[in-house]
Amino acid sequence: MAQQSLQLHQKNKSKNNFRSKLYEFEGVNQITNEEVRGQAQAINEKEARRQLRYKNIKISKIKRSSRYRKKIRSKDITVFTRQIASMLKAGLPLIQALVIIASGNTNSNMAMMVFDIKNEIEQGSSLTNALAKYPKYFDGLYLGLVRAGESSGLLEDSLDRIATQREKNAKLINNVRRALIYPSVVICVSISVVLFMLICILPIFKGFYDDAGAALPWITTAVISLSDFIMHWGGLLVLIILILLITTFIWRYKNNIQLREKVTRVALQLPLIGYIIQRAEASRWARTFVCLYGSGMPMTEALALISESSKNIIFQKATYQIEQQVLQGESLVSSIRSMEEIFPPLFIQLAEVGEEAGTLEEMMNNAADCFDEEVSSTVSTLESILEPVIIVVLGIIVGIILIAIYLPIFNLASAF
């Protein structure tokens, strides 16, 4: 008996997108007499049944989709983009591609969004305008590339460029996060070990020392005092202060451009960390430029989109200044060279070679690949340096605590 996947949905307006629900159904197509199963998007079960009857489906089973309503992640958008690009290249119509993507998606929020995008296109909207309803997931950079693809008739190529860029950016971001998170995790674990010894182990020995009534060495007295302080007041006090400081800093960082710029500048000056951030941003800049300029977008428009989409305020301002200089008639390379304190020397050199030889896109791609390798290599170097350093520091601290714990015992033993 033939099986067919059938997806139905209600053409809701944007405001009702996420009020609608997904229903899974099984039944028989009364025209072809084939068994069908799939999903229906509707406000309620009654409406879902009405849709199915309209499509000549005799329902044998229908239920609310039990799939967990996950958030739509950046990775989901990347996969969505790659899927559309692949299907369009294979010759599938856009509407059919969207239906297939929605039906096979395990994230119900993502499925409903794709259904709504399909609805908008069926009602006469362009893909760019349909995606623009979801600015949280499709930024100006994404929309600009899709618009360029629709204008040139090479939508699948533009989508392929977007997917490739997002995939490489995601890999780069993961490397940067690894560089920032790994030391933090190791330090937190080290602090936890020290606190465990001070709060759980040391008090046991303290009771023994009190019963013995012996004079304690200064190092033991100091460590016991620290343990008492943490157990009674210090832990809570430090926690409250940390929460207040972190909350205040995050609030000010989000709302104060000057603070954000200062913090970013300091981060760029840090050994290894600053090197990683600069190379990662330069790689992202180069790939985005190739993606936009290579799709036929005017250079100034490409620079404007790069500036708008940048998360790093230093590179955002630098790109804006480059755009202004290009608008005034300066070449791209001379404009970038004026920002040599921001961009790595290799970036400027490759851009210059590319502009002179007429291979700017190729050179920018080479620069991005080179910086990706540098970031990956530097992250590995950072990990190899930090791990032994943190272990040595932790060993010294634990050693001091152990000496403080056992020194009185040795003194008592030698007294007898």
Q: What is the pLDDT of residue 5?
A: 39
Tell me the pLDDT tens digit for each residue of 52-101: 888 888 888 887 765 545 788 889 999 999 999 999 999 999 999 998 88
Q: Is the pLDDT of residue 273 over 90?
A: no
Q: Higher pLDDT residue, 4 or 232?
A: 232
* Range with top average pLDDT, 173-187, 192-206, 300-314: 300-314
Measured CA to CA in angstroms, residue 217 lies from 159, 211, 415 at distances of: 71, 16, 14
> 68-82, 189-203, 227-241: which has the minimum mean pLDDT?
227-241
**Nearest Cα residue to 198 out of 407, 406, 398:** 398
Q: Are residues 129 and 114 in contact, defined by beta-carbon separation less than 8 angstroms?
A: no
pLDDT (mean) for 137-149:
88
Q: Which domains does the chain have, with CATH numbers?
A: 3-64 (no CATH), 74-167 (1.20.81.30), 168-416 (1.20.81.30)
Q: What is the pLDDT of residue 382?
A: 80
Q: Is the pLDDT of residue 353 over 80?
A: yes
Q: Is the pLDDT of residue 45 over 70?
A: yes
Q: Are residues 338 and 328 in contact, defined by beta-carbon separation less than 8 angstroms?
A: no
pLDDT (mean) for 326-341:
90
| Bridge partners for 41 per DSSP | 9, 22
